[in-house]
Amino acid sequence: MNEKDYDEQLAKARDFHGHVCGGIAIGTKLAMYGLELLGMPLNERHKNLIVFLEIDRCMSDAVQSVTGCSMGKRTLKQMYYGKFAATFLNQDTGEALRITDADANKKFKDDETKEEMIVRFRSTPPEVLFKVEKVKIELSRGDLPGKPYMTTFCSVCGEKVSDGRHKLFGGKPICKSCAEGSYYEVID
pLDDT digits 0-9 by tens, 71-103? 989 999 999 999 999 999 999 999 999 999 887
Q: What is the DSSP secondary structure assignment for residue 163, as one 8-state letter?
A: T
Portions of the chain given CATH number 3.30.60.20: 147-180
Question: How far apart, in Å, are the Cα atoms of 103 and each of 9, 19, 87, 171?
Answer: 20, 21, 17, 50
Condensed to tens digits (0 to 9), the pLDDT of residues 28-41 reads 999 999 999 999 99
| Interacting residues of 96 by C-beta distance below 8 A, sequence separation 6+ | 87, 88, 89, 90, 134, 135, 136, 137
Q: Select 3-135's CATH number: 1.10.1240.10, 3.30.1330.130, 3.40.250.10, 3.30.1360.200.
A: 3.30.1330.130
Average pLDDT of span 21-29: 92
Q: What is the DSSP secondary structure assignment for residue 92, as one 8-state letter?
A: T
Condensed to tens digits (0 to 9), the pLDDT of residues 127-181 reads 999 999 999 999 887 777 878 778 899 999 999 998 888 889 999 999 999 999 8
User: Any idea which fold 147-180 has?
Assistant: Wheat Germ Agglutinin (Isolectin 2); domain 1 (3.30.60)
Rounded to whole angstroms, the Cα distance separating 106 from 103 reads 6
The answer to whether the CB of 56 falls within 8 A of the CB of 80 is yes
In the predicted structure, residue 185 carries a pLDDT above the cut 90: no
Position 187: which residue type? Answer: I
The percent of residues in the chain predicted with pLDDT above 90, rounded, is 64
The SS3 call for residue 61 is helix
Portions of the chain given CATH number 3.30.1330.130: 3-135
CA dihedral for 54, 58, 59, 62, sign (positive or negative):
positive
Mean pLDDT over the full length of the chain: 90
The SS3 call for residue 126 is helix
pLDDT at 174: 93
Q: What is the DSSP secondary structure assignment for residue 143, as one 8-state letter?
A: G
The answer to whether the CB of 6 falls within 8 A of the CB of 66 is no
Residue 72 Ramachandran class (φ > 0 left, ψ -120 to 50 alpha, else beta): alpha
pLDDT at 105: 53
